Chain A
Amino acid sequence: QKEVEQDPGPLSVPEGAIVSLNCTYSNSAFQYFMWYRQYSRKGPELLMYTYSSGNKEDGRFTAQVDKSSKYISLFIRDSQPSDSATYLCAMSWGNFNKFYFGSGTKLNVKP
């Protein structure tokens, strides 16, 4: 079983839609949860970073962590074609020296 599971997609939505991206994980020791966006031929770009459970909002992006279910989500409101990319979840425990990544979900927002 992989440490982090993520549906690879692709996920195709019309412009303006609300997008929901999810990851599940198996290690209850994870405390830090991150979402990265990766455009083709580029490096991952940090979008959201949360500690422990709860919600965090930043503009059109909302990250949710449910530690009891070992489940994290990223919501994108009013999606734009420029949001088309691969979204990677990542998580780590306290010492933070090693991230565990999901395989990424490819998102396509159609104009």
Chain B
Amino acid sequence: NAGVMQNPRHLVRRRGQEARLRCSPMKGHSHVYWYRQLPEEGLKFMVYLQKENIIDESGMPKERFSAEFPKEGPSILRIQQVVRGDSAAYFCASSPDGTGNQPQHFGDGTRLSIL
């Protein structure tokens, strides 16, 4: 499967724990985007990364959330000290570049539940 791979598919955490969500982009794609989706709502942009660089993090909450896309390995979205309001589906998308003529392709998401 050459698509965007996200894991885990489901993640359960207790309040105060850390959540780590992983995303491997499509083969040949070097641009990764993270989105959050609440029930009955659209996708909300969080952060856009290229290898080793954060390009746009304007949608990321200022505290507890961080993202990285290292030279080797998947992109990681990290949520520290999780709270009930962090429960959502988190989707990763990738594109081959950041230009205007290449749409984003999505993974199947990680569903985060906070107890």
Where the two chains meet, the residues of A that have a C-beta atom closer than 8 Å to any C-beta of B are: 4, 6, 8, 31-32, 34, 36, 41-46, 49, 51, 88, 90, 92, 94-104
Contacts and interface: CB of A to CB of B under 8 A. Distances in A.
A75 to B, nearest CB: 20
Contact of B40 (A36, A95, A102, A103): A103
B42 A32 contact: no
B42 A96 contact: no
Contacts of B111: 41
Interface string B76-115: 0000000000000001000100111111111111010000
Q: How large is the interface on B (under 10, 10 to 19, 20 to 34, 35 or more residues)?
A: 20 to 34
Given A102-B42, A103-B40, A96 B100 contact: yes
A46 B103 contact: yes
B43 A101 contact: yes
B56 interface: yes
B55 interface: yes
B4 interface: yes
A45 B106 contact: yes
B103 A34 contact: yes
B48 A98 contact: yes
Given A96-B99, A96-B102, A99-B104, A43 B91 contact: yes
